[in-house]
Structure 1
Amino acid sequence: MQLFLYNIFIQLYYSLIYLFSFFNAKAKLFVRGRETIFKDLSSRFQPKQVPLAWFHCASLGEFEQGRPVIEAFKAQFPTYQILLTFFSPSGYEVKKNDAIADIICYLPMDTAKNAERFLQITQPKIAFFVKYEFWYHFIYQTSQRNIPLVSFSAIFRKEQIFFKPHGALFRSLLKKFTHIFVQNQSSLNLLQSIGIQQVSLSGDTRFDRVWAIKEANREIPIANIFKNNEKLIVIGSSWKEDISVISRALQHFPYPIKLIIAPHEINENTLQYIENQFFYRKVIRFSQAKSLTNAQELASFDLLLIDNVGMLSALYRYGEYAFVGGGYAQGLHNILEPAVFGMPIFFGNLAYQKFSEATQLEKLGVAFPIKKAEDLKNKLIFFVENPQAKKKTDTDCITFVKENLGSTDKILAYLTNFLSFQ
C-alpha cells in the first residue's frame, strides 16, 4: 500500500509540475529537460567501452557538496567515465556544461519503468547519492542489479519519515545502500537505532570544497576595484526578506561600508527590487561594471549588484562581513563559503537551526541570527568599533573550517579499498 501511494504521489507531482510549466519558467525547464533524456543517453552510451560512475545531486548545493568526491574519484580512478544527474533545474541549468563530468543530465522521474530504462542504458559500475536524495525505484533497481550504492554527506533528523512508525518503505531503502557516510554523530546514532549498520561518520565534504575554493585564490578584478580598500559586506544568495532587513539596517549606518549583493534568483524583477530597496546607494550591476574602463569611476559606486551565477563563493574573499540569505523563510544557504575566509556571518533567525554548521558557529560566537534591522546595525557597529573582537572572530571562523577538513579522504579511502575487490 505504501508503494502504491508513493507511485500515485510521483505521478501527481509530475502532473502539477507539467501544469505549472505553462506559466513558470523553472517548471518549464524541469519538464522540457526530461523530454529527451533516454534518447540522449542512448546516443552517448554506444558502445560502452569504459566503466561508468554515476553521481546524483538534487541541486546546486548538493553538487558543491559532491564535487570534492567527484574530483578525487576521477583522480584515483581515471578509467571511469562520470555521469552526473540533477533533479532540479537550478542545479542542471548552471552545471550542464561543467567539465567535471563526461555526461550531465536530469534524473528522470522516479517510476519503475524510468529507473529500469535508465539503468539499462547507463549500466553504472557504482552509484553515489549526495546528501538527501532517496528515490525509491532508482535505489531499489540499482540494488537489484548488484550495483554498489553509496550515500555521502548524508544527514538525518528524528523528524524524518525513516524514523516514524509509518516509514517502513523508506527504511527499507536505507538497507539497499552499500554504505552511508554521515555528517554527524546524531545521524549515525539514528541510523543504527533502526538497524542500519553499513554506516560511518565522515563529516561534511563541503568543508573540503570551500577550502579548495580558498586555495584556488580566484581573482575577480571588478570586485577588487569596486572595493577600493574599503570595508565591505557580501550578501550572498539573498531573498527579498533578507534585502528588506539589510537595507533598513544600512540606510543610516554611521560608518563607510560597501555592499556586494548576489541574489539567489537572477531576474529583472529581483534586480529592480534590490535597486529600489537601496535607493540611497549608488548601485551598479556587474554586467554594467564590465564595460567601464575607468577604475576610479567603478570605485565611486557603493553597491555592486551581481547579475550572473557562479562567482559568489569567490566574492566572499573581498568581504569583511557576510550576510547569507534564506534564514528568514527558505532555509539557510551555505555559510561555510564566507566562514573559510574568516569574518562575522549574519543570517535570518527563523530557518537556520537545522543547519548544524550554523548552530555550531553561533555557539562559537562568530555567526549571528538577526531578528530585525536594528540587530544587524548594532552588530556591525560593534565590530567596526572593536577591531580585536573582529580579528578573533575571523580567526575562529577559519579554525572551525580547518578542524572539519578530511571528509573526502575518508570516503576515498573506503572506495579505494572497496573497488580494489570488485
Structure 2
Amino acid sequence: MLRLLYTLLLALVAPIFLYGLFKHKPGKPSVGKRWKEHFGFTPDIALKDGYPVVWFHAVSVGEVIAVSPLIRRYASANPEHNIIITTTTPTGAEQADKLSDIAQHRYMPLDFTFAVNGFLNRIQPNKLIIVETELWPNTLLAVSRNSTPIAVINARLSERSCQRYAKVRPFFWLAAQHVDSFCCQFEEDAERFTRLGVDPSRVSVTGSIKFDIEVKPESITSGANLRATLGTSRPVWIAASTHEGEDEKAIAAHKGLLKTIPNALLLLVPRHPERFNQVEQLCIESGFSVERKSQTQGPISNTTTIFLGDTMGQMITYLVSSDVCFMGGSLIGKKVGGHNVLEPPHLACRV
C-alpha cells in the first residue's frame, strides 16, 4: 500500500519535473530525441558477452565530475567489464560523454516500474553504484529482486534532511532497505543513516571521493592558456559555481575591490548554464564591461572587468587560471552548504 501511495504521488509530480527537465533554456543542453530514455525506452547497448555490467548513477554534472576518477580507475583495473553511467540531467550527460572511451551513457529512467524494468532489461546490471544519496524506491526494489548488490558511495545526509526523513521514515525505508552498503563521507553522515534505522553493519565511513581530484595535464595547459588570455599581469579572482543571489554579492565585492586594485578581474562562473545570459545582463546593468568565454578568440581587452565562464565541465581550467577563489553555494544557507572547496587549493588557487 505504501509503495502504491508513493507511486501515485510520483505520478502527480512527474509532469512538473519533466517540464523543468525538458524545457529549453538558453545555454542549457537539451535532452532532444533521447527523452524516451526517461520512460525506459533505452537504445541498444553494445555489451561484451560474459563480462559483468557495472552501473554507476550520477544525477548531474557535479556528481559525474566527482565519480570520474573512480570510474577511470575501475576501468583500468577491470578493462573487460562493461560500464554504464546514467544521469538525470542533460548537463550531466554532456559531462558523462567525456568518459565515452570507457563507459556508455544512458539517461536514468523515471522511478516508475515500467520505465525501470525497460531499462534493466536492456543492461541487466551486476552491480549498481549510486553517487551521493539518490534513493528511488521502485528502482532499488527492481534491482534488488535480481540479487544485484547496491552501494551508495560518497553518501551524505545533512541534519536537516535527516530530520525530514525521520518524519516520513516509512518512505525513506521504502528505498533504504534495498541498499547493501552506505559508504559515507563523514562520521556525522553515518550516524544519521543509522539513526534512521539503517543497520550499522551496512554503514561505513570511506571519506569523500572529492579528495580524489582528477587533474589532467591538458587541463593545466588549458588553464595556463586561459590565464594568458585574461592577462598575466592582472590579478584574477574567481566566483565559482555561483547560485542565484550570490552573483550580486560577487559583483558588489568586485566593485569594492576595483577601488583599491583597479586592474583586478572577476572570473564569474554560474553553476547552471541556463543562467548565463541572465548573469551577463546583471553584470552589464551593474556598469561592468563583460566578455564571455564562449565568444573569446584572443586576449581580452584591458577594459574588461568581468569575464563570464559560460562553458561547462571546465572548472579546473578556470581555477588554474585564477589566483583566489570564492566557492559558490556558501552564501545561500543550508540548502547547498557550499561546493567543493578542496579543488582550488589542489590547483594552487587560494580560497
TM bracket, shorter-chain basis: 0.7 to 0.9
**Residues 276-295 of structure 1: matches in 2 within 5 Å?**
276-280=284-288, 282-290=289-297, 292=298, 295=299
SS of corresponding position for 2:66: helix
Q: How many residues matched?
A: 338
1:223 corresponding residue in structure 2: 227
Change (3 A) 1:334 1:148: same
The answer to whether structure 1 residue 182 and structure 2 residue 184 are counterparts is yes
Change (3 A) 1:121 1:168: same
**How many Å apart are 1:341 and its aligned residue?**
2.8
**Residues 113-132 of structure 1: matches in 2 within 5 Å?**
113-132=114-133
The answer to whether structure 1 residue 273 and structure 2 residue 281 are counterparts is yes
Residue of 298, 317, 321 corresponding to 1:318: 321
- Residues of 1 paired with 2:313 and 2:198: CA distance? 41
- Residues of 1 paired with 2:198 and 2:36: CA distance? 39
Normalising to structure 2: TM-score of the pair? 0.84
**How many Å apart are 1:276 and its aligned residue?**
1.0
Gaps of 5+ in 2: none
1:334 corresponding residue in structure 2: 340
Residue of 260, 264, 270 corresponding to 1:263: 270
1:413 corresponding residue in structure 2: none
Change (3 A) 1:113 1:338: same
- Residues of 1 paired with 2:19 and 2:280: CA distance? 28
Contact 2:284-2:290 within 8 A present in 1 as well:
no
SS of corresponding position for 2:194: helix
Contact 2:219-2:316 within 8 A present in 1 as well:
no
1:233 corresponding residue in structure 2: 237
The answer to whether structure 1 residue 245 and structure 2 residue 246 are counterparts is no
Contact 1:20-1:28 within 8 A present in 2 as well:
no
Kindly provide the amino acid, as one letter, of the partner of residue 321 in structure 1. Answer: V
**How many Å apart are 1:24 and its aligned residue?**
4.9
Q: Deviations over 1:240-297 (max 9, x none)?
A: 42221222222243124222122223356325324414524x432223321x3xx5x6
- Residues of 2 paired with 1:334 and 1:309: CA distance? 16
Change (3 A) 1:233 1:20: closer
- Residues of 2 paired with 1:81 and 1:227: CA distance? 45
Kindly provide the amino acid, as one letter, of the partner of residue 201 in structure 1. Answer: V
- Residues of 2 paired with 1:104 and 1:144: CA distance? 24
1:104 corresponding residue in structure 2: 105
Kindly provide the amino acid, as one letter, of the partner of residue 2 in structure 2. Answer: Q
2:206 corresponding residue in structure 1: 202
1:53 corresponding residue in structure 2: 54
Gaps of 5+ in 1: 346-422
Change (3 A) 1:278 1:341: farther
**How many Å apart are 1:109 and its aligned residue?**
0.5
- Residues of 2 paired with 1:23 and 1:219: CA distance? 32
**How many Å apart are 1:18 and its aligned residue?**
4.4
| Structure number with bigger Rg | 1
- Residues of 2 paired with 1:109 and 1:227: CA distance? 47
**How many Å apart are 1:117 and its aligned residue?**
2.2
**How many Å apart are 1:163 and its aligned residue?**
5.2
**How many Å apart are 1:111 and its aligned residue?**
1.1
% identity of equivalent residues: 18
1:308 corresponding residue in structure 2: 311
**How many Å apart are 1:201 and its aligned residue?**
0.9
Contact 1:233-1:320 within 8 A present in 2 as well:
yes
More moved, 29-38 vs 299-308: 29-38
Contact 1:62-1:130 within 8 A present in 2 as well:
yes
Change (3 A) 1:279 1:32: same
SS of corresponding position for 2:211: helix
- Residues of 1 paired with 2:265 and 2:148: CA distance? 52
Contact 2:283-2:290 within 8 A present in 1 as well:
yes
SS of corresponding position for 1:15: helix
1:4 corresponding residue in structure 2: 4
Normalising to structure 1: TM-score of the pair? 0.71
Q: Deviations over 1:205-241 (max 9, x none)?
A: 011125x468963433133331323321012122342
